[in-house]
Amino acid sequence: MYVSEGALFPFSFFYPALDAGLLSFAPPGLGGRVFRTRFKKEIVAEFLPPARAGKRQRLIILCDGMPSIPRKQPLVEFLAGKGFWVVYPRYRGAWESGGEFLQRSPHEDILDVVDELPKGFVECAFGRRFSVNADQIFVIGGSFGGAAAILSSLDSRVNKVVANCPVTDWEILDRSEKLETSQEDYAVYIREAFGNAYRLSDANWEKLRSGNFYSPWARRTEIESGKVLIFHAMDDPHVPYAGSVRFAEETGTLLRTVRRGGHLRTEDVVRKHWERIKKFFDS
């Protein structure tokens, strides 16, 4: 059975290490650790080259939920082991990255990473330089990060995206906030509970209520159906399954229904359904 990804997108207090951002996982031969770099002077990202060289350079970018602990390093390792470059960024204003959270749509941070990859980037610890001229770019995101994945599909450079239990419409916001905290002001709760992990102002959080900011539903007519694969559990208590059904019906995107599992962890979905995801990427 899957366990939940976290709270409004959601957060769990049960995790293996307090400083998950420093956990190290890597295929053999890469020094036993995930590399770190910084894009556009603000966006901190962890990354791994593929464990084995291929004829094509294929890249996967991972998008976190919110609020969450940056702990997808094992998934980075898993995907690099499948022959992909993997980049795992922090949104602007979140965790190690600079800036203000939600000052810009988070999917724009993902596209900024795409902009920078072929220009070259430097690994922070020892200054080794890398560049990625990707033949194919894929984005995987869950919950809050599912919206980033879907919106990034609007860029022609992104070939396919996988969205796990994604927020497609922010009309769920009031309901989701109440499930996570009894405080009336959600941004105040985030500042108190997470401190500088999210530099979030009331004004930036309220942008989500407009219905236009960071909203896949607002841009549904622009979605190319064959580029998006959604996974969603019918019993998801945080991001209702009905939202993905409505979005898939409206846009023609692929929806894979999981009968039980709650708010599914992206890592579990990718590992369990990897063959299906790989086939989707190859199609």
Q: For 191-221, how does the pLDDT look when each residue is reduced to its tens digit (9 = 90+)?
A: 999 999 999 999 999 999 999 999 999 999 9
Residue 9 forms part of a structural domain: no
Residue 253 forms part of a structural domain: yes
| pLDDT for the residue numbered 12 | 35
| pLDDT for the residue numbered 30 | 43
Q: How confident is the model at residue 75 (pLDDT cuts 50, 70, 90)?
A: very high
Which amino acid is present at 179?
A: L
Rounded average pLDDT over 134-138: 97
| pLDDT for the residue numbered 192 | 96
Q: Would you state the structure tokens that stand for residue 95, as one six-digit string?
A: 């965790």
Residue 251 forms part of a structural domain: yes
> Which residues lie across from 141 on neighbouring strands?
63, 163
What DSSP string describes 85-127? Answer: EEEEEPPTTBTTS-S-TTSS-HHHHHHHHHHHGGG-EE-TTT-
pTM score, whole prediction: 0.89
CB 82 within 8 A of CB 274: yes
Q: For 156-189, how does the pLDDT look when each residue is reduced to its tens digit (9 = 90+)?
A: 999 999 999 999 999 999 999 998 999 999 999 9
Rounded percentage of the chain residues whose pLDDT exceeds 90: 86
Residue 263 forms part of a structural domain: yes
CB 253 within 8 A of CB 225: yes
Q: Which of 20, 93, 91, 66 is nearest to 186 (CA)?
A: 66
Mean pLDDT score across all residues of the chain: 90
Domain count of the fold of the chain? 1
Q: Which residue blocks in the chain are alpha helix, DSSP H?
A: 73-81, 106-116, 144-152, 173-180, 186-194, 202-206, 241-251, 266-272, 274-282
Q: Would you state the structure tokens that stand for residue 157, as one six-digit string?
A: 């450079």
Q: For 5-45, how does the pLDDT look when each residue is reduced to its tens digit (9 = 90+)?
A: 444 544 432 233 323 333 333 333 344 579 999 999 999 99
Residue 15 forms part of a structural domain: no
| pLDDT for the residue numbered 206 | 96
Q: For 215-229, how does the pLDDT look when each residue is reduced to its tens digit (9 = 90+)?
A: 999 999 999 999 999
Higher pLDDT, 122 or 53: 122
Rounded percentage of the chain residues whose pLDDT exceeds 70: 89
Q: Which residues contact 169 (CB under 8 A, 6 or more apart)?
A: 211, 215, 216, 217, 243, 246, 247
CATH number at 230 reads 3.40.50.1820
Residue 5 forms part of a structural domain: no
Residue 3 forms part of a structural domain: no
* Residue 196 domain boundaries: 20-282
Which amino acid is present at 60?
A: I
Q: Using a CB cutoff of 8 Å and minimum separation of 24, what contacts does 130-133 make?
A: 130/35, 130/37, 130/47, 130/49, 132/57, 132/59, 132/85, 133/57
Which amino acid is present at 67?
A: P
Residue 35 forms part of a structural domain: yes
Lookup result for tokens 């330089």: 129
Q: Which of 87, 137, 90 is nearest to 109 (CA)?
A: 90
Q: Within 10 A of 1 (CB to CB), how many other CB atoms are there?
A: 6
Q: Would you state the structure tokens that stand for residue 92, as one six-digit string?
A: 């602007």
Lookup result for tokens 């001229």: 133
Rounded average pLDDT over 260-269: 96
